[in-house]
Amino acid sequence: MSHHIVEVTDLTHTYPDGTMAVRGISFRIHHGESVAVVGANGAGKSTLLLHLNGYLTPQHGSVRIGDFPLTKATVQDIRKTVGMIFQDPDDQLFMPTVYDDVAFGPLNLGLPPEEVEIRVQDALVRTAVAHLRERPPYKLSGGEKRAVAIATVLAMTPDILVMDEPSSNLDPRARRTLIELLAGFHHTKIIATHDLDMVLDLCERTIVIHEGTIMADGPTLDIFNDMELLARSHLEKPFRLQGCPICSGELSR
């Protein structure tokens, strides 16, 4: 399975209004890696991620997923490989019930009804929300919505999970549940986030983006201990590494 590589080369994106959101980004992510993409607001994280499943096509440079370069011709296949989880689960849960939502993808793949049923049930069990099956999405809590959103993506059996701020708007408990859930997945994971403590838990590698370019790319701990780098990228050292026993969670363990 070594072909599930994400390779971005010299990617540039300018929005129609002239905003240069991404300016020449290159990196390579291997199968099974778990990588955080961090950076200040407006750094270009979301724009970068939108390229990974072909919503935006590279204006300059290239994106390769596995063996395929991302083009109009391959975008359908690439979307089956790359599962995307959005910041606002309300955008992702557009169907009348949880079941319909999770079944949406498998039905589009043209799977037979029994297979759809198996996939839905499997995805709901993996995200621990099987009991919500018949509920309408607007009756769910934020944490439940997030879990269902992840289930909708898992039902597509992607090899790569791309997440944009998955832990935003979650209370501490829901956040903890989410982290445990994600830690249990063996997919290749790319997570854009402001939650550096979560990065410590989930990602061995971190890419720091600042104003559309890569400031640093390396092992998470190295990066989070580089005070100067963090300051330059408008980031702060996670509480847990600041040596405070309460914040670092030492007491609760």
Partner 1 sequence: MAKIESAFFDLSYLDALARRNTCIHRLDPRIKVIATAVFVICVVSFHKYAISAMLPFALVLVLVMGLAEVPASYVARKLLIVSPFAVMVGIFNPLLDHQPLMQLGPIVISGGWISFFSILLRFSLTVSAVLLLIASTGFNAVCMAMVKLGMPRIFAVQLLMLYRYIFVLVDEGIRIHQARALRSFQKRGLSMKTFSHLVGQLLLRTLDRAQRIHLAMLCRGFDGTIRIQRVFTITKGDLFFLANCCTVLFLLRYFDLPLYIGRLLTRLLS
Ligand X SMILES: Nc1ncnc2c1ncn2[C@@H]1O[C@H](COP(=O)(O)OP(=O)(O)OP(=O)(O)O)[C@@H](O)[C@H]1O
**Interface contacts to Mg ion, rule CB under 5 A:** 46
Residue 205 near which of ligand X, partner 1, Mg ion, none (CB within 5-8 Å, type-dependent): none
Query: For residues 14 and 157, which CB has a smaller minimum distance to ligand X in the complex?
Result: 14
Side by side, which strands form the sheet with 68-69?
20-29, 6-14, 60-65, 68-69
Any contact of residue 138 with partner 1 (CB under 8 A)?
A: yes
Which residue minimizes CB distance to Mg ion? 46
3-state class of 174 per DSSP? helix
Residues numbered 1-20 forming contacts with ligand X, rule: CB under 6 A:
15, 17, 19
Residue 106 to residues 160, 187, 209, Cα–Cα distance (Å)? 17, 19, 34
- The binding track of 145-174 with respect to partner 1, each residue x by CB under 8 A or -, is -------xx--x------------------
Any contact of residue 41 with ligand X (CB under 6 A)?
A: yes
Cα torsion angle, 211, 215, 221, 225, sign: negative
Contact 93, 145 (CB under 8 A): yes
Among 79, 189, 205, 210, binds partner 1 (CB under 8 A): 79
3-state class of 47 per DSSP? helix
Residue 204 near which of partner 1, ligand X, Mg ion, none (CB within 5-8 Å, type-dependent): none
| Token pair for 67 | 């063996």
Q: How many CB atoms within 10 Å of residue 204?
A: 13
Among 6, 8, 11, 21, binds ligand X (CB under 6 A): 21
How many angstroms separate the CA atoms of 47 and 65, rounded? 17
Q: Give the binding site for partner 1 (CB under 8 A).
A: 50, 53, 55, 76, 79-80, 82-84, 86, 88, 90-97, 100, 103-105, 107-109, 113, 116, 136-139, 152-153, 156
